[in-house]
Amino acid sequence: MLLWLVIAYLLVSIGIGLYAATRVHNARDYIVAGRNLPMAMVLAMVFATWFGAETVLGISATFLEEGFRGLISDPLGASLCLVLFGLVFARPLYRMNLLTLGDFFRIRFNRPTELVLSLCIVVSYLGWVSAQMAALGLVFNVLSDGAISTTQGVFIGAGAVLIYTLLGGMWSVALTTFVQMIVIVLGLLYVTWLAGDMAGGFSAVIAKASAEGKFAFLPTLDAADMLAWIAALLTMALGSIPQQDVFQRVNASKDERVAVWGTTLGGVSYFFFAAVPLFLAYTATMIDNDMVVRLMAEDSQLILPNLILGYMPFAAQVVFFGALLSVIMSTASGTLLAPSVTFSENVIKGFAPDMSDRALLMTTRVTVVGFTAFVTWYAVSTDSSIHEMVENAYQVTLAGAFVPLAAGLFWKRANNLGATLAIVCGLGLWLSLVLVGYEGDVEPHLIGLVASAVGMLVGGLIGKPNPSPHAAGGHGHGHHAAAMTHHVARR
C-alpha cells in the first residue's frame, strides 16, 4: 500500500509538470521561466534544490559517524554559498540578463573560456544528479522490501523526473518544487516530532548528542586539521557559486529584489532546516541503537528509512516517504536541467551560432534525455556514498571556474590572458595532483584554487585589457553585450 501511494505521488508530480509544459513557448520560458517567478517560488526552488537526498540520507548518516565535523562542507559550506551568491553575485548577474553562466564567460572573456568552463560546470553535476538517482533507487528498494532492486528503482525514479523536466523545463521545476517544499517541511517536522517523543523528548536527544561531542565543529590548532577544515568549507562555499542551477534561480526571478533575497533567504532556510534530519537520525540511536550499529556497518544511509518503517505509524510512513521523494525529485529536476542548458547553449550553440530559438529548445530537451541516461548509468555503477558524490562534485568548479567568475565581475583588469592562466593553472594543477594520487595536508582542489587566483592576477597585470564587449562578437542574445557594457561602465 505504501509503495502504491508513493507511485501515485510520482504521477501527481508528473501531472504538475505536464501542466507547467503549457507555459513553455520558447527557449527562454524553458530555461528561466520567462523571468516571471515571485519571491515564494524562488525561495522554494533555492531551498528545495539544495535540500536533497544528501541532506536527508547523506549528511544525517555522516552526522552519526563524525558529528558536525563531518558537515563542514554541507550544510555549512552550502548555506554560505547561497548567502554569498545572493548578497554579492546575484545583483550584477541578474542585471546582465543572460541565459547561462557560460554566456558571461564568453562576453567577459572569449569563446575558449566559455567552452572550457561550461564543460567544467557540466561535469560538476555528474556526482550531484547521480546522488539523487541513487537515492531514488534506495527508496524504491526499501519500500518494496527488496522486490524492486536498487538499480530498478534508479530507472523508475529517473524516468519520472525526466518526463516532467523534459516537457516543462524551469516552469516544471518551479511549480513542482513549490508543492514539494510544502510537503518536505510539514512532513519532516511531523515525523521528527514523533521520533523526538519516542526518544524521550527534544532536550534528552540534544543532551545526549552534546555529551558525545557531536556538536563540535571547529578544527583543532593543528595546521593540517585547519587546512582540511578550510578545504571542506571552501569546496562547497566557493565551488558551488559558479553553478548553473543557482544562477538559473536568480535569473528566473521577476525582479532584482527577488533575485537577491530569494537566494539569500533560501540559503538561510536551508541551513536551519538541515538540522531537522540530523535530529531525526540521532533519535534512532536512542530508539534502536542495535539497528543503528548494524546499519552503520552495512549502509548508514538506510538508518532513517528503517527507523520510519520499523517504528512509525502508517500515516507517518506515508508522510516521511512523500517528503523524501519530494526532497529527491526537487533536487534531481533542477540539477538535471542546469547542465543540460549549459551544454546546449554554451557548447553546442557555440558551434552553430545561427541556431534558431526553436532549435535551441529542441537541442536542450535532447540534452536533458542524454544527461539523464548518463547520470543514471553512473548512479548504478559507482560505489560512492550519496554524501561523497555530492561533496566531490564541486572540486572542478572550485579549481577552475570560481576565480574567472569573481574576477570577471569585480576586477576591471581581469582579461583573456588572466582567464586562460587561471584555468590552466587551477585545473591543470588540481587534475595533476589527483591523477598522481597526491595525499598531502592541503587538498588538491584548494591548491588549484590558489593557483587559479595567481594565474588571474599575473595575467591581469601583464596582459592587455579586453576589448569592448560590443567588438567581441560571438553567438548569443543581442542584449547581452549591451548589458555587459553597462556593467563594466558602472565599475
How far, in Å, CA of 476 to CA of 266, rounded? 30
How far, in Å, CA of 131 to CA of 315, rounded? 27
> Which amino acid type is present at position 473?
G
pLDDT at position 393: 67
DSSP conformation class of 149: -
Whether the CB-CB separation of 74 and 390 falls below 8 Å is answered with yes
pLDDT at position 148: 87
The single residue listed with the C-alpha cell 545583483 is 91
CB atoms under 10 Å from CB of 457, counted, come to 18
- pLDDT (tens, 9 = 90+) of the chain, 491 residues, equals 778 887 888 788 788 878 888 888 888 888 888 888 999 999 988 887 778 767 787 788 888 888 888 888 888 888 999 999 999 999 999 999 998 999 999 999 999 999 999 999 998 888 778 888 888 888 888 888 888 888 998 998 899 889 888 888 888 888 888 887 888 888 889 999 999 999 989 999 999 989 988 888 888 888 888 888 888 888 888 988 998 988 988 999 999 999 999 999 999 999 999 888 899 989 999 999 899 889 888 877 788 888 888 898 988 888 888 888 877 887 788 788 889 999 999 999 989 988 998 999 999 999 999 999 998 998 888 766 555 656 566 788 999 999 999 999 999 999 999 999 999 999 999 989 988 988 877 888 889 999 999 999 999 999 888 875 543 334 444 444 444 433 333 33
* DSSP-assigned states of every residue in 108-120: HT-HHHHHHHHHH
DSSP conformation class of 215: T
pLDDT at position 95: 94
pLDDT at position 218: 84
pTM: 0.83
How far, in Å, CA of 278 to CA of 325, rounded? 18
How far, in Å, CA of 352 to CA of 348, rounded? 7
* DSSP-assigned states of every residue in 394-448: GHHHHHHTHHHHHHHHH-TT--HHHHHHHHHHHHHHHHHHHHTT---SS-HHHHH
How far, in Å, CA of 262 to CA of 174, rounded? 13
